[in-house]
Amino acid sequence: MQVQSRLAAMTVLVTGAGTGFGAAIAYRAAQEGADVVIHYNRSKDGAEATAARVRGLGRSALVVQADLSTWEGIRSLVRDAFAGVGRIDVAVNNVGNVVAEQQSWRDLTQEWLDRVIDVDVKGTLLCTHEFGLRMLDQGGGSIVNIGSAVVVRGSVRAPQYAASKYAILGLTKSYAAAFAPTVRVNVFAPGFMETATTLARGDWRSGRRERLVSDTPMGHIPGPEELAGAALFLAMPDAAHITGGLLLADGGLSMVGA
């Protein structure tokens, strides 16, 4: 696949870029000509591996550790990232928690509820808040919040996950209006992807994958690298008139009306 240099001369920060979708987005950003800031919390080896792949393309890579479940951790990430690279043109807020070990709504616990709300809702909101402040000061930027197609279909397995992703729509629209026209804020909402986390889930191994493939018009469950370019599209010049928007990418499983 030939990749254009649509992010040339830009710096892209991706949270949770040590594994899975975040790693794929970081690498695709480098393929598109960007320098990359790679955030991780616990996946240090994965983050360093992502950085090595980025540098292998001739782009620079800065690795930053931070716990995004606290406001101070997010402020630390923002401080360290801007101190290291000077300017961030695109921030992709990818970190989320799917509580993969939860197999039914009946299994909901206070700990699993708090974990999802703290990371997916509070973390995404505060990352948008803090990166947006800096981008306003620098005179421009774009923020892509990673949501989920679960906002269309809900989640029998983990209702708090669906609630958190729906919250991301509300906070994205709010900040898009607040930051316009200087900083754009959008949501990229993928469906199921075959990441290591998904492949390890009990329901995935007991027939759910096959049912989803059958129900999906495109007849395919993609890997993260197949969707990374679509997520980054929202930060590219071609999307310059899109803010407060939602881009759904789930192979047609959740077709919605206008």
Q: Which residues are catalytic?
A: 161
Query: What CA–CA distance (Å, rounded) separates 182 from 225?
Result: 29
- Which residues are bridge partners to 184 per DSSP? 142
Query: What CA–CA distance (Å, rounded) separates 130 from 124?
Result: 10
Task: Give the closest residue to 248 by CA, choosing from 193, 185, 188.
Answer: 188
19 with 193: CB under 8 angstroms?
A: no
- Amino acid identity of residue 66, one-letter, is A
Element spanning 142, H or E: strand 141-146
**Count helices and strands in the chain by DSSP H and E runs:** 10, 7
Q: What is the dihedral of CA 122, 124, 126, 130, to 10 degrees?
A: 170
- Which residues are bridge partners to 40 per DSSP? 65
